[in-house]
Structure 1
Amino acid sequence: MSAWKIISFKDDVYTLCFFLRFPQTISMCIAFSLVASMGHERGAIGDWCLAIWCLCFIVTFFMSVFEYRYYYRNFPFFWYKLPITYACYAALLCLSTSIIYPVFYVQYLPHGPSRDRAIAASAFSCISCVLYAIDVAYTWKHYGFENIRCYVLTLPGLLKILESFVACVIFVFLSNTSLYLHQPALKWCVAVYSICFVQVAVAMLLRLGGWENRLPLPLPIFHLGLTVLSVLLYVSALVLWPLYQFDEKLGGQPHWDSDMSCVGELIDYGCIWEQRLAVAVLTAINLLIYVADLVYWTRQVSVGTEDQPSTPSPLHSQDVSLQSSAVP
């Protein structure tokens, strides 16, 4: 432990960049390169997974460059929130693509070079998931989050991450527009998912940016109002999506074997019925998360206490003092 204590923060960032960021970047690059080389055969889910891997590659690359070159000269206090927030999302997104891509797409590919590339891409996605999870643990230890409060490691922060993550997984399946374009009620469900996702994104940006104290309403009431609206919207989606997808009277397909894309050859999208079911299950899961969020904010309003927007913590002064002593 004494050896770790004498290592400068700059050396820690150097280690993070080259022993975590570098393999993350390489893994993401290989994953999306393998899928991109499949051309038109990758399908809608493949396109969405490709977009996730490409986004993670770009963000990780520029983050590593920024940390290595400019870290202790710019944003010494603000920056500590960003890496762990991004690493949490990247780990969850890579985990989802590592599951969705093989289960809903790869298994329907015929044996051949395309299937081999898809399996290899899934493997590198799993490797990236593990690396990002290690990144979360390393960042937590590096910044001493056991001594200060970081929003993404609080209960409301974790709930927001889960809400937005489940919404992103739903959007993966909604990339297949044939799931909902034929029914106005299903289009409403897509609008529900989009509206709630935007609400979560706004709430997280306000907290991470330290702008919550500029709201015209008290913070607990603001979050409670957004959460109540999200719960009501998700309840409507939970009713309408299964009703119009699986009720035969409303044009749905109640059984798996009634969908030719599941029993026949791969057309472009894999088994569409399984994707409908996945969206229904994910809608129920996200509704439960929103209900938990609602309970939390209801308690905050009733008790009349809430963690106020974060002010500069001891970490800020620690960073500044270390910066002044380490950088001439």
Structure 2
Amino acid sequence: MVTEPRPEDDHVVMWITDIRMAVVFVKELRKWIESDNKLGTNSGTVRVTPQPVSQPVSLLRLPQLFSTCMSFSLVADMGIHRGYVGNWFMSIWCFCCAVTLIVLTVELRRFPSEFPFFWYLSNTYACYTALFCLSASIIYSLTYVQFLPYGPHRDQAIAVTAFSYIASVFYAMEVVKMWERCKIYKTSCYVLTVPGLLKVLETFMAGIIFAFISNTSLYLHQPALEWCVAVYSICFIPAALAILLNLGQWEYRLPGPFPLFQLVLSLLSVLLYISALVLWLLYQFNKEFGGHPQRSSDEDCKDELAYDMCAWDQRLAVAILTAANLLVYVTELGYWACQVSVETKALPRVS
């Protein structure tokens, strides 16, 4: 008696094939690097030996590449069953996989010595990617996976979430490793400091907010909500510029003391975010201001599928992210207030 193959068996075979292809790719990449070095040595040219992949930081690139590649390929294989949320995060995992491959290739080729900013850029990329993979895992599981019926597509979506969580862990491990290296060798990298990490969180959450408010129907009908969008943009630009200034070590060229400048900027951002949070909550969730206090009261959410984010879900996500970003700005305000206070006490007093 001949039994027909089950769909689950096809998915298992596909996963095993993807794993084998990833292993073969890494082996071929190392062979190419080694053969290219031998060619440069035989031809009489001077070539720097690349860092071995077995080094702690470089070794993390392989599981990072593998995890993001698996998340991307598994979501892509789901086809029409991946939904709008799956399409959104598939682009994120694809981007992370591609950039990680570029970083790995550059490190193997020892190009960082030719690009002085590469080390700072790779650290910044690791911080953002850890946050992106973690947020993608959480949002994907909450808004999509839990609503899928039991079957091969649900199992595949769970595998996608697991690989995304694994990727975020390895990117976070890279950040920790680089932070330890900075302490050992007494070097500095802005994104690995307290104010740098706060700026990364601020710009990251602002970027997620921008993704949600890309649906212009959420705010164009009300000037107060348009003000909230303006606040997100106004606060995002200085935070991004602060990261760029510190990466280029240009903060010392500012006309005044940098801590005082950051203190004023943080205070302004806190006040703006407070106004945005209050207005967003009033005009989105209060009936007196035309809002919808419950999901069922929103007409746009009645005809949506269970695993798609409707307009009310996007409003709630923006409110939560606004409150979270406000807490980050308050923390930054306290940090810079302490720094300015310490510097003020250290100044010589005029008798």
TM superposition score category, shorter chain reference: 0.7 to 0.9
Which TM-score applies when normalising by structure 1?
0.78
**Contact map agreement 1:108 1:270 (CA 8 A) in 2:** no
1:192 maps onto 2:231 in alignment:
yes
CA change 1:199–1:43 in 2 (3 A) is: farther
CA change 1:305–1:106 in 2 (3 A) is: farther
**Contact map agreement 1:49 1:97 (CA 8 A) in 2:** yes
Alignment of 1:75-114 (within 5 A): 75=115, 78-111=117-150, 114=153
For 2:209 and 2:97, the matched residues in 1 are separated by 22
Alignment of 1:293-312 (within 5 A): 293-304=332-343
For 1:177 and 1:113, the matched residues in 2 are separated by 36
Considering only aligned residues, what root-mean-square deviation do their CA atoms show, in Å?
3.0
**Structure 1: which amino acid aligns with 2:260?**
I
From 211, 232, 238, give the equivalent of 2:250. 211
Deviation at 1:210, TM superposition (A): 0.7
Q: Paired residue for 1:318?
A: none
Q: Paired residue for 2:88?
A: 48
Q: Paired residue for 1:250?
A: 289
CA change 1:11–1:69 in 2 (3 A) is: closer
Q: Paired residue for 2:7?
A: none
For 1:48 and 1:79, the matched residues in 2 are separated by 28
Q: Paired residue for 2:266?
A: 227
For 1:120 and 1:278, the matched residues in 2 are separated by 25
1:64 maps onto 2:104 in alignment:
yes
Unaligned runs of 5+ in 2: 1-48, 346-351
**Contact map agreement 2:201 2:328 (CA 8 A) in 1:** yes
1:32 maps onto 2:39 in alignment:
no
Question: What secondary structure, in the 3-state scheme, does the structure 2 residue paired with 1:304 have?
Answer: helix
Deviation at 1:248, TM superposition (A): 1.3
Deviation at 1:153, TM superposition (A): 2.9
Deviation at 1:24, TM superposition (A): 1.1
Q: Paired residue for 1:22?
A: 62
Q: Paired residue for 1:317?
A: none
Deviation at 1:92, TM superposition (A): 1.4
Which TM-score applies when normalising by structure 2?
0.73
How high is the sequence identity, in percent, across the aligned residues? 57
Q: Paired residue for 1:129?
A: 168
CA change 1:40–1:305 in 2 (3 A) is: farther
Deviation at 1:119, TM superposition (A): 2.6
Question: More displaced, 53-62 or 297-306?
Answer: 297-306
CA change 1:124–1:178 in 2 (3 A) is: farther
Question: What secondary structure, in the 3-state scheme, does the structure 2 residue paired with 1:33 have?
Answer: helix
Question: More displaced, 240-249 or 31-40?
Answer: 31-40
Deviation at 1:213, TM superposition (A): 1.9
Deviation at 1:18, TM superposition (A): 5.9
Q: Paired residue for 1:238?
A: 277
**Contact map agreement 2:148 2:154 (CA 8 A) in 1:** yes
For 1:146 and 1:72, the matched residues in 2 are separated by 17
**Contact map agreement 2:144 2:307 (CA 8 A) in 1:** no
Question: More displaced, 241-250 or 51-60?
Answer: 51-60
Deviation at 1:267, TM superposition (A): 6.8
For 1:211 and 1:90, the matched residues in 2 are separated by 25
CA change 1:303–1:67 in 2 (3 A) is: same
User: Which is greater in Rg?
Assistant: 2
Structure with the bigger RCO (C-alpha within 8 Å, sep 6+) is 1
**Contact map agreement 1:17 1:68 (CA 8 A) in 2:** no
Deviation at 1:145, TM superposition (A): 4.8
**Structure 2: which amino acid aligns with 1:83?**
S
Q: Paired residue for 1:4?
A: none
Deviation at 1:93, TM superposition (A): 1.4
For 2:163 and 2:106, the matched residues in 1 are separated by 25
**Structure 1: which amino acid aligns with 2:105?**
V
Deviation at 1:271, TM superposition (A): 4.9
CA change 1:225–1:36 in 2 (3 A) is: farther
For 1:36 and 1:189, the matched residues in 2 are separated by 35
Deviation at 1:15, TM superposition (A): 3.2
CA change 1:180–1:111 in 2 (3 A) is: farther
Question: More displaced, 250-259 or 127-136?
Answer: 250-259
For 1:182 and 1:114, the matched residues in 2 are separated by 39
**Contact map agreement 1:44 1:175 (CA 8 A) in 2:** no
CA change 1:190–1:115 in 2 (3 A) is: farther
Question: What secondary structure, in the 3-state scheme, does the structure 1 residue paired with 2:263 have?
Answer: helix
For 2:252 and 2:225, the matched residues in 1 are separated by 38
For 1:248 and 1:32, the matched residues in 2 are separated by 41
For 2:145 and 2:299, the matched residues in 1 are separated by 17
Question: More displaced, 45-54 or 96-105?
Answer: 45-54
